[in-house]
Every structure is written in C-alpha cells, then in structure tokens.
Chains A and B, each alone.
Chain A
Amino acid sequence: MPTQTQNLTEEESLEVDDLPDLLSETEVGIVDAAPLSEAAQTQQILTSLLDPHASPKKKCQWILDLEGTSFDKSQAGMLEPVLFEFIQSQRNSSDPLDAIAVGSAIRQYVAILDGTELGSIATLLEAEHRTPVSLEIELEIAKMVVRKLTAVPSSSANPFPELADRLMEICRTYLNARLLPRTNYGATALNAILGLTLLAASHLPELFEQLRNLRVVWFKQQIARRTNRLLSEPALQEADKAEWPCGKSLHELAASVTEEAG
C-alpha cells in the first residue's frame, strides 16, 4: 500500500517535523489529500483486505486505517463480509492489538449494516466450546446494537430472537451487585439491557423482574438516565409517536427502574 504522506508537499513535510501531539504525519497527509484520493485510498484498503494471502497483522492495521475513511454504498457492500470474517477469525486472539482491531471492525460492521440485517451479529456473541466471548467484544457489540437501534428503530417486536437470546444471557450473568461495579461489566450489562428493550424482546418480563430484585441503586439510576436520553433521540421519538413496540418498552423500562432508584 502506498503511504498517505506521499500527498504532502515539500513545505508541508518540513512542518511535520515539529508537528504537535494532536496530528501525526499520516493525518496531515489525509487532511491535505484531494477528495478523490480519499476515495481511492478507501478502495486501496478494501482491495488489500480482500487479498486472501494478507496476514492477520496487516489486516489489523488496514482495519484501523479504515476508521479514517468514508466509503460509498458499493464499497460498504464489499466491506461487510470482509469485516464479519475478520471479527470471526480474530475475536479469540489473545493479542491486545488484535482486540483493538476487532473492536474497530465491530463498530464499522454494525455501522454499515442495514437495520434489517442486525441479527447477523448474534453469531459473534456465541461462546465457543472452549473459549468464552471476551468482555470487551460483548461490550462493543451490545453498545453498537443500541446505537444502531437508536438511529434505525425496529417497527416490530422481537425482530431478532437469537440476538435477544444472547443479550439476555449477558443480563442473566452480569446483573448482580458483585460484578456491576467492575471494569466493563456495568457498561456491558447496561447496553445489553437497552438493546433488549429497543428490540422489544420477548425476554422483557424476565428482565424487568431481574431488575426489580437488583439492589444496585447507582446502576438503576444509570438505566433511568440512559432510557430518558434515548427517548429524546429523534428517530425514537418518531417511533414512540407511531406506537412502535420499542417506544412502549422504553417507557416500561424507565418505570421499572424509577420506582426504586428514586
């Protein structure tokens, strides 16, 4: 792959030497590049990612490079399976750098998914025979499920039953006073709860019962705050007005945690 700094003029290259900590040499190249070259750059990354002989390490770097680029619809269509395959193949890696790239791939994958395809992410939450899904991956997926359903709410109840099953498994495991204060557990549980609610999942009666029995006031306050914030999001306000199931579920969740959280 060509380096992005090739777009720098000599004068700009000189400035790079005393660049501040805000912008790296590469980033100056991106900013100063012509719009056309950004599209070409995306295409180059995409072509590289499609190379079956590319090493996982190189793929990790290209996935991180993708964060700085925008892509059109056809490029997004080509990227979707590449990102999914990368997440599946690298999600059990013990290398911290792989984990960072997998997190990035999850965010980009869910971002380009059509709302009707969100169920495909459920597979990535399945624990394998010997390896559990890492907490960081669970958090990233649960968070992106919430972000997707906030931007593109579902008009029907329980549209992705398998995804709901996986999120409920997270809630059953992490919703307790010992785990919630620990790093990443609270954030993962919170997003799994909000995800289930936005899905208007069939598990909601069980979830609300579990929340009623939970004696962690700060966490319930947090659920109430986030739920209220979601209800002020434009797409969800529209969904609420149209009486879609997700709107009703959000109100029920808010009521279930507000009673006790005060």
Chain B
Amino acid sequence: MPAQRLDQQSISISQFDVAGRDSATLSEFIRHVGLMPEIVASFAPGTLSRLLHMKPPLETEAEPGSVHVVGSVPPTIDETSAISLFYDEHRNEYAAQSASRLLQYAILPSIQPDRATDGTVIRTRFSCAGFVIGAYREAEIDLIDEDEGTLPPVDLETLVRAYPDQESSLRNPKLRERMNLGGDGPWPVVLPGYVLKSLCRRFEEIKAVAYRPTPGDEFFRMTDNSVAAAKTELTLE
C-alpha cells in the first residue's frame, strides 16, 4: 500500500516509512509526520510506535505514540542507507534538548539553512514535514513540489484550528515573523498531510514526479484508502 489510514488490518512496515498522527481536535487532519525507525512485520492499528522525527528536537522519540496513517514508497536498501546518512549528518546539530528549539524549527520554508555572514551553513532547520521531505530527497525521491506558487495558501485560522495548543504563538505576530509567517497570511506552508498524500500514488509516480498538493490535502480520510488501493493495483499490474 502506498499510504493508508490504519483501520482494522495489520500492515507490514518498512524502515523509514512515513507515519502520520492526527490532530486531537480536528478529525482526520494530519498534525504531525515522522519516519518509522525500523521494520515491523505486522503493525496492528492502535499500536504505539516511536518515531524518528523533527519534534523539535530532531530525535528518535523516547516514548512511543499513536500512528494513524502510514505511507510507503517503499524505500530500497540503498535508499534507506542514504536516509540514515542524512539523519546522522543532522542529528548532532539538534542533540541537545537544552539547545534552542526555536533555532531548530522552521515553518516557512519547510527546510531552511542558517548561514554565517560569508554564506557558510551553520545548521539546517526543518519543520516535521521538511525533515521527511529532506530525508527522502537525500535518496533522490522528491515527495513535494515546493516551487513558488505550487503550494496552497494556508490561512492563520486553519493553522490555529490545526494546532490549538500553539495558538498563543501563532497569534503573536513577532513569533510568526520569526518563522517567516509575516503579515496576516495566508502562507504557502507545507502541511504534514501533504507528505502522506504524496505517497497516495503509484510507486513509479512517487519516485518520478514530485507531488503538487491541493487544498484539502491536509486531511487524510478513510476514503483515501480506497484511492490508494486502486493505485496500488495499477502498480502491481
């Protein structure tokens, strides 16, 4: 299966499959994405799992959490090696819980290098979606087309509805500005759900063409499972 909302059946998980977590308040809205750190032969719905993710910090979770949607390319051994290497390169920059979380996180763009005055990159910041996108790009799989004008605009109220526990930060113009969310919006933010929707395509297509998100892709609905299943059948044919 390229991507599916976990329902009743157990599924097999490949290393670095993409896992999505739902918003607590907005039904079927994907609030967070990360990578599954290891192979699981039979993953039952409701099972908790640690994620390798940009929380911040960039980490493998200490405590397992819910997984509601899983998407898979699936990556080859060569591709997982490339993703591991990407993680190794960036992990040490974020090893400290005590290091500034603000410095680690990016919202717009989803991947943002911080540079010294001469242009030397000091660190790269990611959103949770940006980390997954960056990891797969290292394996030459471009999940999302982030070119100018391709991402749907997201308004402040959508962000606040999606992230109610971050409402005070999102409503603070200075904090928004720091995240490049200047003015009152809307902004071309890569929402976590886009990453899973990008995996709701034929395997060949996922590897060949970056996905262009459309409004509504921030949700992954149960009905998306049948769409994904039909596309998988096409792949197998």
| A residues neighboring B (CB under 8 Å) | 15, 18-24, 26-28, 30-32, 61, 64, 67-68, 96-97, 99-101, 103-104, 107-108, 110-112, 115, 136, 139-140, 143-144, 147-148, 150-152, 181, 183-184, 186-187, 190-191, 217-219, 221-222, 225, 235
Contact = CB atoms under 8 A, between A and B. Distances in A.
A187 B140 CA distance: 17
Contacts of B88: 139, 183-184, 186-187
A101 B163 CA distance: 32
Interface in B7-53: none
Interface stretch (B65-73, B166-174, B200-208, B213-221): B166-174
Nearest to B176: A31
Contacts of B138: 222, 225
B118 A23 contact: no
Contacts of A115: 118
A221 B96 contact: no
Which of the four size classes fits the interface of chain B? 35 or more
Contacts of B119: 151-152, 235
17 contacts: A20-B165, A22-B101, A22-B166, A24-B100, A31-B102, A61-B98, A67-B100, A67-B103, A67-B123, A99-B95, A100-B92, A107-B122, A139-B92, A152-B119, A190-B85, A218-B79, A222-B81
Contacts of B118: 111, 115, 151-152
Interface string B208-235: 0000000000000000000000000000
Given A20-B165, A152-B118, A100 B95 contact: yes
Nearest to B76: A218
Contacts of A24: 100-102
Contacts, number: 133
Nearest to A225: B140
B236 interface: no
A27 B102 contact: yes
B175 A28 contact: yes
B120 interface: yes
A190 B118 CA distance: 23
A68 B81 contact: no
* Dominant secondary structure of chain A at its interface with chain B: helix
Contacts of A148: 120
Contacts of A136: 92
Contact of A111 (B84, B98, B120, B172): B120
A100 B85 contact: no
Contacts of A151: 115-116, 118-121
Given A218-B79, A218-B82, 7 more contacts: A15-B168, A21-B55, A31-B174, A32-B174, A97-B98, A147-B120, A225-B82
B98 to A, nearest CB: 6
A221 B102 contact: no
B89 interface: yes
Nearest to A152: B118
B147 interface: no
B120 A68 contact: no
A112 B89 CA distance: 20
Interface string B143-169: 000000000000000000001011111
Interface in B97-142: 98-103, 105, 115-116, 118-123, 138, 140
Contacts of B105: 22
A59 to B, nearest CB: 14
Nearest to B99: A64
Contacts of A99: 95
Nearest to A104: B99
B93 interface: yes
A20 B121 contact: no
A24 B98 CA distance: 10
Contacts of B237: none
Contacts of B63: none
Nearest to A76: B117
A152 B119 CA distance: 8
Contacts of B62: none
B96 A97 contact: yes
B85 A186 contact: yes
B123 to A, nearest CB: 7
Nearest to A15: B168
Given A151-B118, A221-B82, A103 B95 contact: yes
